[in-house]
Structure 1
Amino acid sequence: MGDVIAIGPGKVALLEAIRDQGSISAAARSINMSYRRAWVLLQEVNGAMRRPAVLSEHGGESRGGSTLTPEGEAVIRLYRAMEAQAQAACSGEIAALLKLLV
């Protein structure tokens, strides 16, 4: 994987938007991201996983769409749980840091 960060806040936000919107393009629009950037991030996530986080259907009468796999749902759930635990564990430091900001 080299310098690629497999999972981070932007990628999790994209997965959540795909779950909510049902397509990569609608998800990208909803979080003010270009389709190209969303596609690249999604390729990085799927490429880093044993099983893909998102499955996409292309075109046709139903116009395709994208859905999260159980693994994609697990990524969101686990990332958000870790984020909450980290925030709770560091609440004092976060408060002190915020006092230093304008």
Structure 2
Amino acid sequence: MQELPSGVKDIKVAGSIWIERADGSERYLGKGRIQLMELIIEHGSISKAAQAMQMSYKRAWDLITSMNTQSEKPLVATQVGGKQGGGAIVTDEGHRAIEAYKALQQRFEAFMREETQKL
């Protein structure tokens, strides 16, 4: 195993993980998109979720459109107006995507801890 230069202290392996198209052209899921879906679950609204993330509504909408377009089934569904106004929900498919991403994130964090111990 290749070693780092001596004298380096208090270091760790760090990184981020996301799921993207096989050709690398577009991201599908990552930490921010998962957080956006979780905030939609919490608030029932894309605009409120975007506000909570200090993100523009357009950016949130673009992320949702990207995820929904890449998925066989939509991850987020919107509801138009009515007595109680519009809203958004994370679909069953979206809930499965959140769970799968979080499980992958846990495995990735375990990998980074193991690699840190090897340093």
TM-score normalized with structure 2 length? 0.74
The answer to whether structure 1 residue 29 and structure 2 residue 51 are counterparts is yes
Specify the code of the residue in structure 2 equivalent to 1:5: R
Give the structure with the larger helix fraction: 1
Distance 1:63 1:50 in 2: 28
Structure with the greater alpha carbon radius of gyration: 2
From the superposition, tell whether residues 90 and 70 of structure 1 become closer, same or farther in structure 2 (CA, over 3 Å): same
Partner of 1:59: 81
Any stretches of 5+ residues in structure 1 without a counterpart? Answer: 98-102
Residue 100 (structure 1) aligns with: none
Report the counterpart of residue 27 of structure 2 in structure 1.
Answer: 5
> 2:107 is matched with which residue?
85
Moved over 3 A (4+): 92-97
Change (3 A) 1:62 1:16: same
Q: What is the identity, as a one-letter code, of the residue corresponding to 2:100? A: L
Identity of paired residues, percent?
35
Structure 1 match to 2:13 = none
Structure 2's unaligned 5+ residue stretches are: 1-20
The alignment yields a C-alpha RMSD, in angstroms, of 1.9
Equivalent residue pairs, number: 97
Deviation digits for residues 40-92 of structure 1 (CA, Å, limit 9, x no counterpart): 00000000000000111011211011111110001110101110111012114
Quick one: higher RCO (CA 8 Å, sep 6+), 1 or 2?
2
Once the two structures are overlaid, the 10-residue window that deviates more, 36-45 or 8-17, is: 8-17
